[in-house]
A and B are shown apart, each in its own frame.
Chain A
């Protein structure tokens, strides 16, 4: 076959965009992570492993562990709530579907930062939740919910749930429900029909939802910032702190590189386990 010259022109913008906005910054970060910080907090182009050695210190190791733990818990909760939500949403009549979709999308029109402050008002000592609970006599004194691990977890689940819902919804929406009828007709109970047909066919959406939840939850720092105070510190918070207050860009870069490697590792393992083709469209 004759090669069509000029075809590359149509894809060139894509490559240029990717090089400038993805490959470039990544390379910059990578190089930065091997640089030395000068005495006046400036970055000196001098090769060193110190930044990486520093990550091995217990305090940072704990931070990483806590981040992974939180990311896993978040993903599990988001999965448990998001799957049934997306599934039942797909079964609604179309006018109700539109309403649900609007209710899910509207919060996105507000900055997520503002929404997190909303949560802090809800959860703070003597805040709305406390007042309601004390008002109806379930609790006697404020619960001190804010600045705890559960508060951060709630915030994370809240922030990432829509991604799971929409991912599951989009695959459940494409489902041919006559397949479930066929399964029932062939002798499967409602439950069995769900597991052998519906679950299998919505799995790709659920899998995408898992990735869409897990990956950002490793790096979301503002949720822990606002709802965790200094009680819950995640890698994201350390990176942000090193970039701003600490003014240690090389170390922040090294932390980012490790975070990225861990996330990629997670996805690689995940793809291996679940079979790559299940993650339709994402990678």
Chain B
């Protein structure tokens, strides 16, 4: 038994003068659900195409069960892809689309029949076997694309934003179905998305990508609760980033003086230090605080002006302006919250609900 089913070793890739992958490495265990999370242009699709063999890296290696497959053609790899636009063969019906990979591998007719129907059953499309792709809805096409890939029983299944074209409700439903399917089949999934919710809902581990680099790799909890950089905190947790200078260190806590505040108002916030944090008095640091952790109408804290109230998704969002002119967002459940726009309130947060993050930009 190999330790890892898939390994990426220092993969670099440039298109023309732009380097899209800047030496990325990752080890994936058998049966893991890994999500590459990043905004468009971060290199996640290129990474997937390199794993599939549709693109060659400039340097670095792709290992499948410990074997270097970097130079091996896509048809010789035990990896299948669910393409973003589904890429269903329009001249074949659903059955033939799903049977394609097996037929190419010269699997016997009865075996094909059995496995195709089995996969169609998994995606609940047995009744649609004789339909052409053009006669299917987006969600159904999606299922066919998944069935067509899993029927080959790949070592790794690659999914390139498979739910991107579906509406929200269907997307949520498919998220659950995909996760269930993955657990049932035990196939390693490499999933691409730019939707943080999707990543958190489905993954065993999330790989946050930015500008051709892996910014952070970790479980959804780690990524959400302990973002390593300000980018991750904002991208994954929609956290507020507050910058300041360390003023006092005391008993595992740091008092931070907000940047650019006049001296006459309260401008200290606190953050609890974790073991990894190595800060000194006078350091310029950034902390991340998620909107739901910001407390309003306190006795003691920093003052903020309520700039805007808006209601979305069951949450009331308050945009607050700090004394230094920076904005933070606080959120509350329910629509009634006794704060008026334009008024000045005192806010704060528990020191342990804020984390120090790297702040490279």
Contacts and interface: CB of A to CB of B under 8 A. Distances in A.
A196 B88 CA distance: 13
A186 B148 contact: yes
A181 interface: yes
Interface in B15-55: 52-54
Given A178-B83, A181-B83, A186 B100 contact: yes
B89 A179 contact: yes
- The range of chain A's interface size is 10 to 19
Nearest to B78: A187
B87 A179 contact: yes
Contacts of A184: 53-54, 73-75
Given A186-B101, A187-B101, A188-B104, A181 B54 contact: yes
B240 interface: no
Given A187-B75, A188-B75, A189-B75, A182 B87 contact: yes
B164 interface: no
B89 A197 contact: yes
A186 B80 contact: yes
A188 B104 CA distance: 6
A197 B88 CA distance: 11
A200 B96 CA distance: 14
A25 B25 CA distance: 75
Given A197-B89, A201-B91, A183 B83 contact: no
A179 B75 CA distance: 14
B134 to A, nearest CB: 13
A197 B101 CA distance: 13
Interface string A174-217: 00101101111111110011001100110000000000000000
Contacts of A176: 85, 87
A178 B85 contact: yes
A282 to B, nearest CB: 19
Nearest to A201: B91
Nearest to B81: A185
B91 A185 contact: no
Nearest to B55: A181
A176 B105 CA distance: 24
- The range of chain B's interface size is 20 to 34
B230 interface: no
Interface string B245-270: 00000000000000000000000000
A176 B83 CA distance: 12
A143 B81 CA distance: 58
Contact of B52 (A185, A192, A197): A185
B6 to A, nearest CB: 16
B152 interface: yes
Given A178-B85, A179-B89, A187 B105 contact: yes
A154 to B, nearest CB: 35
Contact of A185 (B54, B85, B90): B54
Given A182-B83, A185-B81, A187-B105, A200 B91 contact: yes
Given A182-B83, A192-B104, A187 B152 contact: yes
A183 B101 CA distance: 8
A185 to B, nearest CB: 5
A199 B54 CA distance: 20
Contact of A178 (B73, B74, B87, B101): B87
Given A182-B89, A185-B81, 20 more contacts: A178-B87, A179-B89, A179-B90, A181-B54, A181-B74, A181-B87, A182-B88, A183-B100, A184-B73, A184-B74, A185-B52, A185-B54, A185-B79, A186-B80, A186-B152, A187-B75, A187-B101, A192-B104, A193-B75, A200-B91
Interface of B: 52-54, 73-75, 79-81, 83, 85, 87-91, 100-101, 104-105, 148-149, 152
Interface of A: 176, 178-179, 181-189, 192-193, 196-197, 200-201
20 contacts: A178-B87, A179-B90, A181-B83, A182-B81, A182-B87, A182-B88, A182-B89, A184-B53, A184-B54, A184-B75, A185-B52, A186-B75, A186-B101, A186-B148, A187-B101, A187-B105, A187-B152, A188-B104, A189-B73, A200-B91
